[in-house]
Chains A and B, each alone.
Chain A
Amino acid sequence: MAPVNLSHRRTHNMLLISKLLSLRDTASPFTLLLDSLEQPATPLLKEYIRRAKLSKVHVTLISFETLRKPDGVDAFISTRCKSPTDIMREVAECHKPATTTGPPQRRLILIDAINPLLSSRKLDPNFQLAAFLGSFITPKDPTAKADASLVVTYHSDVPGLPHQNPYTPSSLSILTYLATSIITLHSFSHILAHKAARDRSLVAPVFGLDEEQDGVILGRLDRLAGTGAAEGIVLELEHRRKSGRGVLEWYLLPPASRYSPQHVKEVVTLLDDNILYNPPMEPDTGAGDEEPKSTFELGLTDRQRREREGVVLPYFDAQNGDGPGEGGRILYDMGEEDDFDEEEDEI
């Protein structure tokens, strides 16, 4: 992919993330959030709910691990001891389309973790993940415009079940194939630590489970040495447009304490615009032209440049074709400042 300059990304990709998170125009019917213990998706789900509340979107949370209904959720569906068919029926029931005329209310369906469903042993072997997820977002009336968005969290560090049939793809492959947007979450302090290591050509540090240390499940300590107040979540977005073109971008979502719940303007920024990630260049090295420092004056004055351009180099003379040996002689006009030395060379 050709590198796109920063100002272009600033306008287009910022517009894209704000459209995705605010669920405008159902830009992405199925968003997959890949999180890990090092950066759980809870803050991002909260941000989804906050924005949905601002734009009066009906929020349904299908809970596989949340115990109590969080603030801002309109319908909370617990999935304990329920089959996928039951869940599908309940989700359909909890939202009645408004009978009044006008645009139908948009709908956001969140699944807080899909892993328990995928590794359930009670699961019917004929269970189709694509059909299950598709049932939430397909409009009942085939002529109607799709107005539901599905956001599914997948814990990428929880090992799944080995497959019964070795030829079926893994559930993660199915999910990433189906998703219209994939957001992988990273902890900002870890991204900074990775970048610091990369800048020094060191091996990237690992955290938490990747450390493979006895007794360590979580490595995330917010006060990691050297990262300062590196709070926030880094979102690595892969969005597939309808045309098939993919957009890759890295964003930074600041912690929720930094803005009020009613904040309307966009809070997400490009990761490259962050001062900690991309510190601004020193002004003298950034603005000045690339010149080695030395005691000699290596620049040219305007007069010197004009004179240099006026010089006819010998090989131009040689092309005139005055016969062998004629062209290519070095013709030199003595200036008055020249000190001619007869013994030095012969012309």
Chain B
Amino acid sequence: MPSQPPLPHLLVPYLSDQTDSSLTLISSILGATSNWLVLRFLHAALSSSSSPHMPIGVEDQYDGKKRKVVLVSFMRGWEFWKSEAKRLGLDLTRLSSKQQFTFVDGLSELFSLPQNTKTRLPAQHAGAPARTALPLRSQSAVPDRMPPQATPADQTSSRGSTEPIAKKLHFSGHGITALNALGRDIQTVIEKQKISQDDEILLIIDQPDLLLASTGPSQAIGATEMMNWLTGLQLDVHSTVLTLAADSPLLHNASASSNQMANPTEAEHAAFSIGLAHRARSVMQLRTLETGAARDVSGVLRISRGGGWTVGDDNLDERELLFYIQRDGGVRVFGRGES
């Protein structure tokens, strides 16, 4: 199968065109994950500066504004995003040294103690192995794509913590105060990125529902608190892209029509994701084919206008498309009945 362009042309208007202070929601299910779409968003925002044929002087200018990306991931580590972006032709390490891209790691040490307490608590020594164990997962998957010197460089930088490639989030403390501290950490990263007022920052948050599910009502963090938290982040950036899980039990068990009692996670998740869909300008829903697996279709992408879309804004066409993820990571997007 021929290799595909990094941005499927049917998706270009949806990927590159983010209006001011808009929220784009990407919902995924277990069988149709959203990583490829997030990578396309990254590429659409960053590629104009990383394409090699651009002249040096204008390389990171786009409409007179600099486009920057802050990626906060609660589900995947830095190694995953780095190697996957490389398959698309994006060098995230180079971009982050150019202050165009920042990765915030919400996965590896979210609930483990910060490093300076390591000496005090020898039992919590697992913090360090956990950090190295998680990247190993993607290292083994694509070992040949990694430059051999990258791994020790990363380890020394994170050990030395002079300039870590990825800011690591720690959920320290309890309840709302801990959540707000987490938000402030992300805000500092955003502020650091925002050098001039013209910078357009795209904030991508990968699966914040993990944070909601892992803290939850026992820490007095519910859907409303999470949404308040997100609003605080949204105010600092130009536009926001957010991914969420939308599997059936997470949405429908809590609805009024279902007869069974929903557990707190289901109820909070449903309130969180439906509430966000009410705020979002567009909702991109990924799902598998209703008719079962197919050899040449990986899933269905439905793009709808969310509750935050207004007529005056722009023309956002609602569409339903099929996509196919090839073995090399390329994605083909096409309409029903087309090939």
Contacts and interface: CB of A to CB of B under 8 A. Distances in A.
A218 interface: yes
A323 interface: no
Given A214-B248, A220-B305, A120 B318 contact: no
A186 interface: no
Contact of A122 (B176, B262, B267): B176
Given A214-B29, A217-B277, A218-B285, A67 B231 contact: yes
A256 B309 CA distance: 13
A218 B275 contact: no
Contacts of B220: 121-122
B123 interface: no
A158 B251 CA distance: 10
A256 B311 CA distance: 7
Contact of B277 (A37, A67, A122, A256): A37
Grouping DSSP codes into helix (H, G, I), strand (E, B) and loop, the A interface class, with mixed when no group exceeds half, is loop
Interface residues of B, number: 60
Given A215-B288, A221-B304, A159 B270 contact: yes
B225 A155 contact: no
Given A42-B309, A116-B227, A155-B278, A217 B222 contact: no
Contacts of A35: 307
Contacts of B279: 65, 67
Contact of A119 (B28, B247, B271): B271
A117 B235 CA distance: 20
A223 interface: yes
B255 interface: yes
B283 A46 contact: no
A340 B283 CA distance: 88
Contact of A159 (B231, B271, B277, B287): B271
Nearest to A63: B231
A125 interface: no
Given A121-B217, A122-B176, A159 B29 contact: no
B318 A215 contact: no
- Of A119, A159, A212, A255, most B-chain CB atoms within 10 Å: A159
A162 B227 CA distance: 19
Interface of B: 20-21, 23, 27-29, 31-32, 176, 217, 220-225, 227-228, 231-232, 234-235, 246-248, 251-252, 254-257, 262, 267, 270-271, 273-275, 277-279, 283, 285-288, 290, 302, 304-312, 318-320
24 contacts: A37-B307, A65-B231, A65-B278, A68-B20, A116-B224, A119-B223, A121-B224, A122-B225, A155-B275, A158-B270, A159-B254, A162-B267, A213-B287, A214-B288, A215-B29, A215-B285, A215-B287, A216-B302, A217-B27, A217-B246, A217-B273, A217-B285, A221-B304, A221-B319
Contacts of B305: 218, 220
Given A37-B277, A120-B224, A216 B285 contact: yes
Contacts of B254: 159
A117 B227 CA distance: 11
Given A214-B29, A215-B29, A216-B285, A255 B318 contact: no
Given A159-B255, A217-B246, 12 more contacts: A35-B307, A37-B277, A37-B278, A43-B310, A67-B235, A117-B224, A119-B222, A161-B267, A217-B283, A217-B304, A218-B304, A219-B304
